[in-house]
Amino acid sequence: MKVLKKIGVIGAGQMGNGIAHVCALAGYDVKLNDISEDRIKTGLANINGNMQRQVSKALISESDRQTALNRIVPAVTFGDLTDCDLVIESASEKEDVKKKIFGELSQIMPKDALLASNTSSISITRLGSSTDRPEKFIGIHFMNPVPLMELVELVRGIATDEDTFETSKEFVNRLQKTYAVAEDFPAFIVNRILLPMINEAIYTLYEGVGSVEAIDKAMKLGANHPMGPLQLADFIGLDTVLSVMQVLHEGLADSKYRPCPLLVKYVEAGWLGRKTKRGFYDYRGEKPVPTR
C-alpha cells in the first residue's frame, strides 16, 4: 500500500474544511485549496473555531489544536498540491466542475499520487475517466459535519485498483472513522435513502399536508429523528439536495426521484438554507422562523 503523509483538499467550504480538520488532527500534513485566498482564510478560520469548540468540550486538548492547525497550510494554486500523496476534491456538486479540476490535476500531479472525490452522488467511474489514472481514483464521501460524523462511504469506480482501495481504507481508519463500502450507483447508500426522504418532506409541504413546523415536529417526535427533514435540508444546502435528486432522477430514470417543484423554486430564488440565511427557515433573526 502507498504510505500517505501529505493530503491535499480542494474546496475550503463546510465539507472541505471539515476534511482538512480531521486529517490534521490525525497527524497528516494538509494543504487547503480554494478558488480565492479569501475563501481559504475563511476555511482556516472556521477550522480554528470548530477546534476551539472541541477543546471547550474536552474532546481535544489545546496542544492538539495548536499542533493540528500548524499542519494545515494554504495552497493558493493546484501547483502547490504537487507534493501531496492524496488529493481529495470537495468542490460544488457539479460534474463539469469536478471533471475540470481532475483534468487539471492529471497534468501536474506525480503519477503515483492518488486522487479522490468527496462527491455525494456523482459516478466515480465517470469522474475517474476524466483523469489520467482511473485505477488510482476513488470516492471518499464524508458525512456532514465531518468532525462529528463517524461514517465515510468508500466508492470504487470500475477501474479503481486494489491498492488504492486498501490505502483508502487505512486512511479512513487513521481518521478514527468507520467506512461503509458502496457500489458506484447514483447517490451511493446514505443519500440514496436520505435525500428522497427529504424530497418527500418537501412534497408534503408543497401539497399542503403540513406546515414546515408541523413536518419537522412530526419527524423529530414521531420518528425520533434528531433534526426535522426540512431543517436538515437547510443544513445540507437546498442546491446540494436538488443536485443529488437530479442525479438520482437522471441516473435511475424513476419518477419517484423527481425533484419537488417547490425545491426547485427555492433554489431559483437563491434561498439555499443556512448558508444564504433563508431556506425553509429564515435565519436572519435571533431564532429561525419557518418561511412557509
Same domain? 71 vs 195: no
- Considering all CA atoms of the chain, what is the largest pairwise distance in Å, rounded to the nearest integer? 55
> For this structure, is 173 an active site residue?
no
Are 182 and 261 contacting, i.e. CB atoms less than 8 angstroms apart?
no
b/e per residue 196-218 (b: at least 16 CB within 10 A): bebbebbbbbeeeeeebeebbeb
> For this structure, is 33 an active site residue?
no
Catalytic position from the list 121, 141, 168, 243: 141
Segment 8-18 mean pLDDT: 96
* CATH number, domain with residue 32: 3.40.50.720
Catalytic position from the list 90, 121, 153, 168: 153
Catalytic position from the list 117, 191, 199, 243: 191
Q: Is residue 1 a part of any domain in this protein?
A: no
Residue 24's alpha-carbon distances to 36, 66, 81, in angstroms, are 21, 10, 16
- Specify the pTM: 0.91
Is the predicted pLDDT of residue 248 greater than 90, yes or no?
Answer: yes
Segment 44-64 mean pLDDT: 97
Q: Is residue 286 a part of any domain in this protein?
A: yes
Same domain? 162 vs 47: yes
What span, in angstroms and rounded, lies between the C-alpha atoms of 292 and 285?
16
Q: Is residue 92 a part of any domain in this protein?
A: yes
Residue 167's alpha-carbon distances to 5, 157, 182, 204, in angstroms, are 12, 15, 16, 43
What span, in angstroms and rounded, lies between the C-alpha atoms of 54 and 50?
6
Domain end among 148, 163, 182: 182
Same domain? 148 vs 196: no
Q: In a 10 Å sphere around its CB, with 0-12 CB exposed, 13-18 middle and 19+ buried, how is residue 57 labelled?
A: exposed
| Beta strands 137-142 and 114-117, pairing class | parallel
Same domain? 220 vs 170: no
| Radius of gyration of the chain measured on its C-alpha atoms | 19
Same domain? 120 vs 46: yes
Same domain? 84 vs 143: yes
Question: Residue 244: which pLDDT band, with cuts at 50, 70 and 90?
Answer: very high
Alpha helix positions (H), the chain: 14-25, 37-56, 62-71, 95-108, 124-129, 162-174, 190-206, 212-222, 229-236, 238-252, 261-268
Segment 236-256 mean pLDDT: 95
Instruction: Tell me the backbone φ, ψ of residue 59, rounded to 5 degrees.
Output: -85, -30
Beta bridge partners of 205: none
What residue numbers bound the domain in which 118 lies?
Answer: 6-182
Domain end among 116, 151, 182: 182
What span, in angstroms and rounded, lies between the C-alpha atoms of 219 and 204?
12
Q: How many other β-carbons are positioned within 10 Å of the β-carbon of residue 27?
A: 12
Same domain? 77 vs 144: yes
Residue 278's alpha-carbon distances to 18, 114, 235, 246, 271, in angstroms, are 23, 38, 11, 22, 5
* Overall number of domains in the chain: 2
Summarize pLDDT for 18-50 with one digit per residue, the tens: 999 999 999 999 999 999 999 999 999 999 999
Cell match 463539469: residue?
A: 96
pLDDT (0 to 100) of residue 243: 93
Same domain? 118 vs 58: yes
pLDDT (0 to 100) of residue 288: 97
> What's the angle, vertex CA 143, arms to CA 119 and CA 262, rounded to 5?
70
Is the predicted pLDDT of residue 261 greater than 90, yes or no?
Answer: yes
Q: Is residue 32 a part of any domain in this protein?
A: yes
Same domain? 59 vs 109: yes
Q: How many other β-carbons are positioned within 10 Å of the β-carbon of residue 3?
A: 7
Is the predicted pLDDT of residue 292 greater than 90, yes or no?
Answer: yes
Is the predicted pLDDT of residue 2 greater than 90, yes or no?
Answer: no
Beta bridge partners of 73: 31
Same domain? 170 vs 232: no
Domain end among 182, 215, 231: 182
| Beta strands 29-33 and 137-142, pairing class | unpaired
* CATH number, domain with residue 219: 1.10.1040.10
> For this structure, is 141 an active site residue?
yes
Same domain? 152 vs 254: no
Same domain? 89 vs 198: no
> For this structure, is 21 an active site residue?
no
Summarize pLDDT for 105-143 with one digit per residue, the tens: 999 999 999 999 999 999 999 999 999 999 999 999 999
Summarize pLDDT for 133-156 with one digit per residue, the tens: 999 999 999 999 999 999 999 999
pLDDT (0 to 100) of residue 1: 79
The fraction of the chain above a pLDDT of 90, given in percent, is 99
Summarize pLDDT for 182-197 with one digit per residue, the tens: 999 999 999 999 999 9
